[in-house]
Copies of this chain bind each other. A is one copy, B any other.
Amino acid sequence: MRTRIDVDLEKGTILRTDLPGNAIWLGGRGLAESILLQEVPPACHPLGSRNVLVFAPGLFAGTSMPTASRMSVAGKSPLTGGIKESNVGGMAGMILSQLGIGAVVIKGMSPVGHPKLLLVGKRSSELIEVPELHRLGNYQTVEILKKRFGNEAVILSIGPCGEMKMSAATIAVTDTNGRPCRHAGRGGLGGVMGSKGLKAIVIDPEGAQVRRGTDPAAFAKAVKEYTKILQSSKKTAFWRENGTAGLVEVSHARGSLPTRNFTSGAYDKKDGVNAERLKTLTAQRKGIMGHACMRGCVVRCSNIFNDPQGRYLTSGLEYETITMMGPNLDIDDLDTIAQIDFRCDDYGIDTIETGATIGILSETDLFRFGDRERAIQLIDEIGKGTVLGRVLGQGVTTTGKVFGITRIPAVKGQSLAAHEPRSLKGLGVTYATSPQGADHTAGFVAEEPLLREGHTERSRNAQINVVIADSLGLCQFTGLRDDYDLFVRLIGALTGKAPSAEEVVQLGRKALWEERKFNQGAGVGPGQDRLPEFMRSEALPPNNNAFDVEDEDLDRVFGDYPK
C-alpha cells in the first residue's frame, strides 16, 4: 500500500495515512489533482493558506521500468490562476516511490518568518527550521543540505524567487549527480512552496526498495518488452545523441522556432545554438551528452555543459531554454545561454517564462535584441528581487501589463513555450485550450502543422494521452501513444488489478475535464481559451502563416464546459 504524507506548516503537524484503495491506478498528475479537487477551494488565493501543494510520483515510479519515474507537482497556480501540474524528472519521484510514498501534501502557511525544511524518511518525517537557508540559491542550498543529510539525499528546493513568491518561480529537484538542475518549472509552484514557508524537502533514501509489483515475474517480463521497444526506437537514439537541442534544427526547418520575440519562426544564426554546436563544445570541454536525469533512463536526453576551462557551467542545457533565451532574444551564443540557465536554476525561475518576458522587453528601452550582458543582468535583477526583478519574476503577462505592452505571447497568463503555434497549428489548439495555460507538454500535435483544420480531435486526444503519461510517470520522450495494451499489462502486474485500455483513457479524460472544472470554479472561464491576438493578425515568416484555426474548432476540444 502506498502512503500519503500530509504536512501542515501552520500547525507544524505531519500525518501519514494510506492512500485510498480506489486510487489504485492513480499516480502523478491524476492523483495529485484528485487531491486538489477535493481539498482546495478553487477560488482561494494561490499564495494563501488554503492552497495545497502536492508532490506525487507517477504510478510506475520506483519500479524497474526505465524512464518512468517522473513526478507531478500540483497546486493552484499564481501564474494562471487555475489548476497546475508541473511535471519533473530527477530522482525525487523514484526515491519517494521506493519509500512507499504516493503523495506528499503540503498545507497551510508557516507562521514563522524564516524557512523550514521537511525531512522525509521511510518511517518518519519531520519539520526542521533552517533560517540559515533564507534567500540562498538552489545550488548552495543543496550543498549545505548534502553536508548535513548525506550525499545520497534527494532534495527538492526553492531559490530566492520561490521565497519571494514569484509567479514564475520553480521547484528544483536533484538529478543523478545530486545537482538541483531539474525543475518543476511552469506555473509558479515554487512561489506556492515559498508562500508556505517551505524551503526544501530532503528525502532520505535509506530503506528505498525497487517496487516489483504484485506479480513480479509478469511485471519484469513486460518491462523487458517495454525496454526493448524504447531501446530500438529511432527517437530514443535521436534524443540521446542530440539532447533536446536536436529540436533547434527541426523547429528552424519547420518555421516554428520562436525568434526575436515571436516575430520569426526561423533563425538566421541558428548554427550558434544548435545541437551540432552543443556537441562540438561539449566534446571540446569534456562535458557530457546522453546524460540521465533519473537513474536507469534509456533515453538520456540531458547533458552537462562546461565552460571553456572545462568547469561545470550548467545541466541540462535544454531546447526550451536555448530557444527562449537564444533565438527569441537574438542571442546566438551557447555560453551566454548556459550562464543564464545556471542562474535561472540557481535563483529558481522558469527559463521559458523568463525568456518570453525578456523578449517583450525588446519593445522598451530595457532590453535590445542580442544584448548578452543585459540579458544576464536582468536575470540577476530577478534573483535579487529589485523592483524591476520582481516585475519580471511574475512572468510575461504581468510584465506586459506593467510596461503597457500588449503583444504578449501567453495564454491564461502563462507564456508560450519554444514552439510557434502559427507554424504548428495543432499545438496552437493545445496552447489555447489546455487547462494548464500555454504548455508544449500538455499535448504536442505536430501533424499537418500549417493546416487550419483537423486539429480539434488531435489536440483532445493528445491532451488525454499526456494526462495518462503524467499519471503513470512516463517521460513524454518514451512516446506513449494510442495503444495502451502493454501499459494495461504493466499496471495489472504492478497493482494486481488491470484496467481495460478503455478505462485508462476514461481516467485520463475525466482528469482533464476535472481540471477545467477547477478552473471554472477559480473564475478562469472558457473565454480564455484563445491564442494572443497578434498571432491571428501577424503572419509569421518564413511560412507567412497566421494562426487561423476557427474559434469554434477550439471550443469543440472540450465541447460544453462542465458545470
Interface residues of A (CB under 8 A from B): 42-45, 47-48, 50, 78, 164-167, 191, 194-195, 387-388, 390-391, 394, 398, 401-404, 406, 408, 412, 519-530, 532-533
B388 touches A527 (CB 8 A): no
A390 touches B406 (CB 8 A): no
CB of A518, distance to nearest CB on chain B (Å): 9
Closest B-chain residue to A43, C-beta based? B530
Closest B-chain residue to A386, C-beta based? B387
Q: List 17 A-B contacts (CB under 8 A).
A: A42-B527, A45-B532, A48-B406, A78-B401, A164-B404, A165-B404, A387-B387, A387-B402, A390-B404, A398-B401, A398-B402, A402-B402, A519-B525, A520-B526, A522-B525, A523-B527, A523-B530
A524-B527, A525-B525, A527-B523 known; A533-B44 Cβ under 8 A: yes
A523 touches B533 (CB 8 A): no
B406 touches A167 (CB 8 A): no
What would 7 more interface pairs be, CB under 8 Å, given A391-B402, A524-B525?
A165-B404, A390-B403, A390-B404, A523-B524, A523-B526, A523-B527, A525-B526
**What is the bound-complex CA distance between A195 and B522, given in angstroms?**
29
Closest B-chain residue to A194, C-beta based? B404
**What is the bound-complex CA distance between A391 and B390, given in angstroms?**
10
A522 touches B533 (CB 8 A): no
| Chain B residues whose C-beta falls within 8 Å of the C-beta of A166 in the assembled complex | 404
**What is the bound-complex CA distance between A78 and B398, given in angstroms?**
12
| Chain B residues whose C-beta falls within 8 Å of the C-beta of A528 in the assembled complex | 43, 523
CB of A432, distance to nearest CB on chain B (Å): 10
CB of A196, distance to nearest CB on chain B (Å): 12
Interface majority SS (helix, strand, loop, mixed), chain A: loop
| Chain B residues whose C-beta falls within 8 Å of the C-beta of A398 in the assembled complex | 398, 401-402
CB of A252, distance to nearest CB on chain B (Å): 29
| Chain B residues whose C-beta falls within 8 Å of the C-beta of A529 in the assembled complex | 523
CB of A150, distance to nearest CB on chain B (Å): 33
A167 touches B50 (CB 8 A): no
| Chain B residues whose C-beta falls within 8 Å of the C-beta of A527 in the assembled complex | 42-43, 519-525
> Which of A164, A390, A525, A526 gathers most chain B CB within 10 Å?
A525
| Chain B residues whose C-beta falls within 8 Å of the C-beta of A47 in the assembled complex | 404, 406
**What is the bound-complex CA distance between A191 and B195, given in angstroms?**
32
A42-B527, A387-B387, A520-B527 known; A50-B402 Cβ under 8 A: no
Closest B-chain residue to A169, C-beta based? B404
| Chain B residues whose C-beta falls within 8 Å of the C-beta of A165 in the assembled complex | 404, 406
B167 touches A48 (CB 8 A): no
> Which of A394, A398, A523 gathers most chain B CB within 10 Å?
A523
| Chain B residues whose C-beta falls within 8 Å of the C-beta of A520 in the assembled complex | 525-527
**What is the bound-complex CA distance between A483 and B164, given in angstroms?**
54
B394 touches A48 (CB 8 A): no
**What is the bound-complex CA distance between A165 and B401, given in angstroms?**
8
| Chain B residues whose C-beta falls within 8 Å of the C-beta of A390 in the assembled complex | 402-404
> Which of A391, A521, A526 gathers most chain B CB within 10 Å?
A391
CB of A166, distance to nearest CB on chain B (Å): 7
| Chain B residues whose C-beta falls within 8 Å of the C-beta of A533 in the assembled complex | 44-45, 48, 50
> Which of A167, A520, A527 gathers most chain B CB within 10 Å?
A527
Closest 7 CB pairs of A and B: A523-B528, A525-B525, A523-B527, A165-B404, A523-B525, A47-B406, A521-B527
| Chain B residues whose C-beta falls within 8 Å of the C-beta of A78 in the assembled complex | 401
B401 touches A167 (CB 8 A): yes
Closest B-chain residue to A518, C-beta based? B527
Closest B-chain residue to A528, C-beta based? B523
**What is the bound-complex CA distance between A183 and B294, given in angstroms?**
60
Closest B-chain residue to A50, C-beta based? B533
**What is the bound-complex CA distance between A2 and B403, given in angstroms?**
39
**What is the bound-complex CA distance between A524 and B519, given in angstroms?**
11
**What is the bound-complex CA distance between A453 and B42, given in angstroms?**
24
CB of A113, distance to nearest CB on chain B (Å): 13
CB of A119, distance to nearest CB on chain B (Å): 26
**What is the bound-complex CA distance between A43 and B50, given in angstroms?**
30
> Which of A43, A78, A166 gathers most chain B CB within 10 Å?
A43
| Chain B residues whose C-beta falls within 8 Å of the C-beta of A524 in the assembled complex | 523, 525, 527
CB of A84, distance to nearest CB on chain B (Å): 15
A388-B387, A401-B78, A533-B50 known; A45-B406 Cβ under 8 A: yes
| Chain B residues whose C-beta falls within 8 Å of the C-beta of A412 in the assembled complex | 523
**What is the bound-complex CA distance between A19 and B380, given in angstroms?**
56
A402 touches B394 (CB 8 A): yes
| Chain B residues whose C-beta falls within 8 Å of the C-beta of A43 in the assembled complex | 527-528, 530
Closest B-chain residue to A537, C-beta based? B49
